[in-house]
Amino acid sequence: MPRSIWSGAISFGLVTVPVHVVSATEDQSVRFHQYHLDDMARVRVRKFCELEDREVRSDEIGKGYELTKTQVIPLTDQELRNLPLPTAKALEIHGFVPLESVDVIRIGEGYYLQPDGPVAAKPYELLRQALERSSRVAVTKFAWSGRERLGLLRVRENTIVLHAMRWPDEVRDPSELYPPAADVSDAEVGEAVALIERMTTDRLEARTSPTTTPRRWRRSTTRVRGQTARERASLRVEAPQQNESRPGSSGRSLAGIVLRASCWARVLGQVGCSPSLR
């Protein structure tokens, strides 16, 4: 289980439930580094002061609010933590609603709530069973990093889950994106509904098996990394020296270009895409 990222208490009437908040998801994306193509050296991002024109250390960097173009009000992390927010260490429950009444576009990242010690076990289980039996979700407010947020509590198996939610004014109005009017016949709608019925399953997991594209992409890129290492060793592709590059040339060897093209062709072919070299 990942480490706790926040500690506080659920406030529910006269009941207080001390909890730890831990992430409920993990990123399974394939990650790439950025490299300088001429010599394959890592590209680093450095932070510079625009007035002194020098790189600054992390302990020299702070937050500030731009009041005007020429006036910035500095704010320290301690000042943000000391903001007089009643939800700074509490998840305050303000009401209960059916989950179906919540627009899913407002629901954000999910976190597991873990009871903080044996004393919290009973009130935690009381709230969990009450939510489950009522078929409701709780609307809460909480504060992280000096910002008050809206949240939603629901039950997943034997655990209470906290979802960060967007405030109503954080959701953009889609009216300007409405498509132009189009005539659609009842027969066409009926065919679309019939297709939906044929593809409908009782559980989402049936349509998100490990054989779907995101998983294929990760397996394919992992396989290609191994093949690339072996082919690079056999071809002995070396980055050109600085004095070997010619004017108007990127300095990349022909073998390296062929190797990269063949690798991406394999990746795209394995995930059902047609390769496109740009």
Strand-pairing partners, residue 92, are: 11, 141
Residue 117 reports pLDDT greater than 80? yes
**Which has more pLDDT, 85 or 248?**
85
Q: Can you give the residue ranges of every domain in the chain? A: 6-26+82-170, 213-239+250-270
Q: Which fold has domain 6-26+82-170?
A: Ku70; Chain: A; Domain 2 (2.40.290)
Confidence label for 147 from pLDDT (cuts 50, 70 and 90): confident
**Which has more pLDDT, 72 or 223?**
72
The mean per-residue pLDDT over the stretch 67-85 comes to 79
Query: Residue 244: what pLDDT?
Result: 46
Six token digits for residue 263: 């690798």
* Integer CA distances (angstroms), 120 to 125, 126, 139, 155, in order: 9, 10, 20, 17
Map tokens 């009437």 to a residue: 13
Map tokens 């044929």 to a residue: 198
Confidence label for 246 from pLDDT (cuts 50, 70 and 90): very low
Backbone angles phi, psi at 155, to 5 degrees: -105, 130
Name 231's Cβ contacts closer than 8 Å, sequence gap at least 6: 259, 262
CA 28/CA 21 separation, integer angstroms = 21
Least confident of 70-74, 105-109, 133-137: 70-74
Residue 140 reports pLDDT greater than 80? yes
Backbone angles phi, psi at 178, to 5 degrees: -60, 135
The mean per-residue pLDDT over the stretch 216-223 comes to 66
C-beta of residue 93 within 8 angstroms of C-beta of residue 12: yes
Query: Residue 265: what pLDDT?
Result: 55
Residue 260 reports pLDDT greater than 90? no
Q: What percent of the chain has pLDDT over 70?
A: 70
Confidence label for 123 from pLDDT (cuts 50, 70 and 90): very high
Query: Residue 1: what pLDDT?
Result: 61
Q: What percent of the chain has pLDDT over 90?
A: 40
Least confident of 2-6, 158-162, 223-227: 223-227
